[in-house]
Amino acid sequence: MKKVSYLIHKPRFHYFSSLSRGTAISSEVLSIVHSVDPMEPALEQVVPFLSPEIITSVLQEQQNPYLCFRFFVWAAKRKQFRSWGSHNLMINLLVSDNSHLFDAYWRALEEIKSYGLRIPSDAFAVLIAGYWETKNAEKAVESFGKMKDFDCQPNLFTYNLILHILVNKGMVLLALAVYNLMLKLNCHLNCSTYTILIDGLCKSAKISDALNLFEEMTQRGIVPTKITYTVVLSGLCQAKRINDAYHLFQNMKTNGIKPDFITYNALLNGVCKLGKMDEAFTLLKNFKKDGFDLDLNSYSSLIDGLFRAQRFKEAHDTFHKMTKSGITPDVILHTIMIRGLCNEGRVDDAFKLIKEMTDKNLVPDTQAYNTLIKGFCDKGLLDEARSLKLEISGVDKFPDSCTYTILISGMCRYGLVGDAQNIFNEMEKYGCVPSVITFNALIDGLSKSGDLQKAHLLFYKMEIGRNPSLFLRLTQGSDRVVDSGSLQTLVTKLCESGSPLKAYKLLTQLSDNVILPTITTYNILINGLCKAGILEGAFKLFKELQVKGKAPDSVTYGTLIHGLQSVGRDNDASILLEEMMKNGCKPTPAVYKTLMKWSCRRKKTFAAFSHWLDYLKSVRKQDEKEIELVEEYLENGEIERPVRLLLDMDIKLKDLDSSPYTIWLIGFCQVHKTTEALKLLAILKEYDINLTPASCVMLISTLCKEGKLNMAVEVFVYALQKGFILKPRICNNLIKSLIRSRYVEDHVFDVMEKMDSCGYDLNVYLDESTRFLLSTRRKQEMRNLVTK
């Protein structure tokens, strides 16, 4: 069943204003609108009483789209003329002709640019939305990129629109790059920004990243909406983290946000997908207490779950109960019923259901047919399965890769490998791309039938891809691959541009030719795959490089350990560390620091420092007794004595590395152990050890939360003196905390003066809420002076 989710930010503006098309407009006004340049001040004097919708609709009726576009861009520069209605009119006009009117719109932009005027962001928002409406995402993204050529700075709405498009096209990494650009430009983000990104991460199975972004959103003081909660809840359910989904659901209600049907259905669907049907019915009782009634989506989730749990009678009873209540099943629910009947072995009844759908004017989709085709193949009814594949085209649907894969698997299972090969060839003939599963099914069939030569050739074909000229094309042009060095350069470029899978395909193809990748090239690609969350691909490459005689080095292992930690697979990371040492590869300090950082993020601060002690034991055999003493101190909960002892050892050996201590300092802040953090801070200052920018930010944030503002100011001044450029968020947070505190509010202007003297542009750094608080503070001072 399809995942229940919100459609966030539809590309059209759904706030239509009523248009007074019958409003009388004098011929003199229309004459001016037609003849005067859109930048002419006289136009503002003549038509200020008219809405853009009225002017635009009149121009539209007179079939003059170019003039209409010019007037819209002119109106968009004036706040009093902006409205959703005018936006919608422009989009409607643009999409009425996919090419001609878009060209006219660009000409209008170019003309206004020729006057030396900046184009308003609203004008590009309409253009981007128009391209998206006509299913031309590439042009939409390209238009966004061209905004800088028109000296046009995107506003928040335009940013959110392009984020929505990128997420819907599956380009989540590019969407995150745009988000980072927004942060860099100090763009005021809103709930929609985060909801779009969180939705994209959830759909890309990056639930940990989605939760981190959700937490960042709340830390910024942005209150999640019902939609945001539902998106995260759906992502947790998809990741099978039902307990976390329950917790979030309760948290949502506690925060006064009432769940709606989509929220309830998302949680119910998640439980049913896991086959926990008793839990699902208990959950349903609790939902009904909140006034929730079963709808089509709810019944679909329940019936699907009952079939998965092989509770067939209950599934059919639930279906009949639903139809009696007046709810009409749709194509999705019919597909669920077909799958359930096939799993029962009742393929004839499933086939009848397809016929019933057509009688009810419901058109079965390809997925419904594929479900039934699989049912026929499982029963050995191969002729019926092939006949049904032909029927798909009769309802204006087309067999997809899944259709062919099901048939090939079925043919091979019953020994009809020749027929399976014919289907495979037919698949390629009609331009349907075989998946890895398709290749594997046919290779398995050929192997079992004893035709190992054909199986080997097919495997080779799968490995090199369907285009035999790929190698020749890649070795030509600007990205020419002639040796190991140029291969490494191209792999690096592909990984940095967010295309690790392309880099993987390139490396696997070229490594079988004359060019041999170095271990550095493998490490770059493994890192790219880990960053993209493709851990299985990273480990596959890890195994391949060993097969090819390459020994993984400490960077290889360290990268994989970091990747495992990033997705919460701590045990696997520990196993890999042990394997690394067994293979005689000595872990570098960077590996242990990675373990420390992730332990701190898991709120295991003392375990974090234990990792560093493990490293010291491996390199400082002569200090074994002192290290054991440090461990004893730490087990007793002490901070000062073990840290001093370690620092003295470091200084004696002239091997001082400050990063383990600053990582530990950040860890204490993350678990709100401020006392321990301040103790460690005092010791580091005593030993004249510099803090990192990250540790300063974490300290300031933690101290502000706990009201220890004098210390927060002290750390902030330290950061300024060291030349650290802190982000606006932390600066605004400190200034607001100082203003709101009646004990240390006098520090506010001292802090601002120091920021100004260190090169901070306060006009850029201070946000609106901080400015408001400062203004209120100054007014209060003036009143106090007058009173005195």
Q: Which residues contact 588 (CB under 8 A, 6 or more apart)?
A: 554, 555, 558
Query: In angstroms, rounded to a whole number, what is the distance separating the alpha carbons of residues 415 and 449?
Result: 7
The CATH code for residues 467-582 is 1.25.40.10
Residue 303 has pLDDT above 80, yes or no: yes
Separation between Cα atoms, residue 117 and residue 678, nearest integer Å = 54
How confident is the model at residue 159, as a pLDDT? 92
Are residues 405 and 373 in contact, defined by beta-carbon separation less than 8 angstroms? no
Interatomic CA distance for residues 641 and 48, integer angstroms: 75
552/677 Cα distance (integer angstroms): 38
pLDDT tens-digit profile of 681-726?
Answer: 888 888 888 888 888 888 888 888 888 888 888 888 888 888 888 8
Q: Is the pLDDT of residue 8 over 70?
A: no
Please work out, in degrees rounded to the nearest 5, the angle formed at the alpha carbon of residue 741 by the alpha carbons of 738 and 745. 50
Q: Which element (helix H / strand E) includes 153? A: none
Q: Is 160 exposed, middle or buried (0-12, 13-18, 19+ CB in 10 A)?
A: buried
In terms of Cβ atoms closer than 10 Å to its own Cβ (0-12, 13-18, 19+), residue 355 is exposed
Cα–Cα dist 336/298, whole Å: 13
pLDDT over 60 (residue 636): yes
Q: Are 404 and 424 in contact (CB under 8 A)?
A: yes
Which of 260-269, 424-433, 534-543 holds the top average pLDDT? 260-269
Domain ranges of the chain: 1-170, 329-396, 400-463, 467-582, 588-690
The tokens of 101 are what?
């009117």
Comparing 210-219, 322-331, 445-454, the range with the smallest average pLDDT is: 445-454
Residue bearing the bigger pLDDT, 126 or 199 = 199
Rounded mean pLDDT, 577-605:
78
CB 392 within 8 A of CB 403: yes
What average pLDDT does range 306-327 have in this prediction? 89
Q: What is the DSSP letter of 602?
A: T
Six token digits for residue 501: 């899978």
Does residue 514 surpass a pLDDT of 70? no
The pair of three-digit structure tokens given for residue 436, joined into one six-digit string = 């890895």
What is the band of 282 on the pLDDT scale with cuts at 50, 70, 90? confident
| C-alpha dihedral, 566 to 572 to 575 to 580, nearest 10° | -50
Distances (CA, A) of 147 to 113, 124, 159: 11, 7, 11
Q: Longest C-alpha distance within the chain, in Å?
A: 102
Whether the predicted pLDDT of 317 surpasses 70: yes
Q: Is 396 left (phi over 0), alpha (psi -120 to 50) or beta?
A: left
Query: What token pair was written down for 624?
Result: 């074994």
Q: 63 pLDDT exceeds 70?
A: no
What pTM does this model have? 0.50
Tokens of 222: 């942005």
Q: For residue 746, what pLDDT is reported?
A: 64
Taking 90 as the threshold, does the pLDDT of residue 279 lie above it? no
In order, the DSSP letters of 650-699 are HHHTT----HHHHHHHHHHHHTT-HHHHHHHHHHHHHTTPPPPHHHHHHH
By CB atoms closer than 10 A (0-12, 13-18, 19+), residue 69 is buried
- For the stretch 314-321, contacts whose Cβ atoms lie closer than 8 Å and that sit 24 or more positions apart, written own/partner, are 314/277, 315/340
How much is the pLDDT for 198?
93
Three-state DSSP class for 707? coil
More confident residue, 281 or 401: 281
Residue 238 contacts residue 206 (beta carbons within 8 Å): no
The confidence score (pLDDT) of residue 48 equals 47
| Separation between Cα atoms, residue 762 and residue 778, nearest integer Å | 16
The residue to which tokens 């004036």 are assigned: 78
Q: Lowest-pLDDT range, 315-329, 637-651, 705-719?
A: 637-651
Q: How far apart are CA 721 and CA 693, in angstroms?
A: 12
The identity of residue 218, as a single letter, is: T
Tokens of 364: 């079965």
In whole angstroms, what is the distance from residue 313 CA to residue 307 CA? Answer: 9
Closest to 295 (Cα-Cα) out of 266, 331, 322: 322
Q: How far apart are CA 316 and CA 309, in angstroms?
A: 13
Nearest to 342 by CA among 364, 366, 312, 362: 312
Range of weakest confidence among 32-36, 363-367, 379-383, 393-397: 32-36
Assigned token pair, 432: 């349907």
DSSP 3: P
pLDDT average, residue stretch 646-673? 78
Q: How confident is the model at residue 51 (pLDDT cuts 50, 70, 90)?
A: low
User: What is the DSSP annotation of 403-436?
Assistant: HHHHHHHHHHHTT-HHHHHHHHHHHHHTTPPP-H
Question: Quick one: which of 680, 664, 569, 670 has its CA closest to 612?
Answer: 664
Q: Which pLDDT belongs to residue 372? A: 86
221 CB-side CA count, 13 A:
9
Cα–Cα distance measured from residue 624 to residue 613, given in angstroms and rounded to the nearest whole number: 10
**Where do the H-state alpha helices sit in 583-639?**
589-601, 605-619, 624-635
Q: What length is written for the chain?
A: 788
Q: Is 205 left (phi over 0), alpha (psi -120 to 50) or beta?
A: left
Cβ-based neighbours of 758, under 8 Å, separated by 6 or more: 720, 723
The string of DSSP codes covering 5-20 is ----S-SS---PPPP-
For the chain, the distance separating the N- and C-terminal CA atoms, rounded to the nearest angstrom, is: 73
Q: Is the pLDDT of residue 40 over 60?
A: no
The conformation of residue 147, written as its DSSP 8-state character, comes to G
Q: What is the pLDDT of residues 463-511, one digit of tens each?
A: 555 433 333 333 334 454 545 666 667 777 777 767 677 776 666 655 5
Confidence of residue 55 (pLDDT cuts 50, 70, 90): low
Instruction: Name residue, tokens 């392309």.
Output: 502
Q: How many Å separate Cα 126 from the centre of its chain? A: 25
Cβ(34)–Cβ(12) under 8 Å?
no
Sign of the CA dihedral running 386, 388, 393, 397: negative
| Mean pLDDT, the chain, whole residue set | 76
**Average pLDDT for 315-327:** 90
* 549 vs 24, more confident: 549
- In the predicted model, is pLDDT for residue 443 greater than 70? yes
**Whole-angstrom Cα distance, residue 561 to residue 566?**
9
- The pLDDT of residue 24 is 44
Residues 420, 404 contacting (CB under 8 angstroms)? no
H or E element at residue 496: helix 484-496
Given this model, what pLDDT does residue 64 score?
59
Give the pLDDT of residue 270. Answer: 87
Question: Within its chain, how far is the Cα of 79 from the centroid?
Answer: 33
What is the CATH architecture of 1-170? Answer: Alpha Horseshoe (1.25)
Query: Which residues have C-beta within 8 Å of that of residue 424, sequence separation ≥ 6?
Result: 404, 408, 434, 438, 442
Q: Percent of the chain, pLDDT > 90?
A: 5
Of 85-99, 154-168, 518-532, the one with minimum mean pLDDT is: 85-99
CA distances 335 to 2, 178, 385, 388, Å, are 11, 39, 16, 15
Q: Which of 163, 89, 79 is nearest to 121 (CA)?
A: 79
Please, what sign has the CA dihedral across residues 654, 658, 659, 665? positive
Lowest mean pLDDT among 20-34, 249-263, 421-435, 700-714: 20-34
Q: Outline where 345-464 has alpha helix (H).
A: 347-359, 366-378, 382-394, 401-413, 417-429, 436-448, 452-464
- pLDDT tens-digit series, residues 229-240: 999 999 998 888
Distance CA 283, CA 301 (A): 13
Q: Tell me, what DSSP letter sits at residue 550?
A: P
Local confidence band at 764 (pLDDT 50, 70, 90 cut-offs): confident
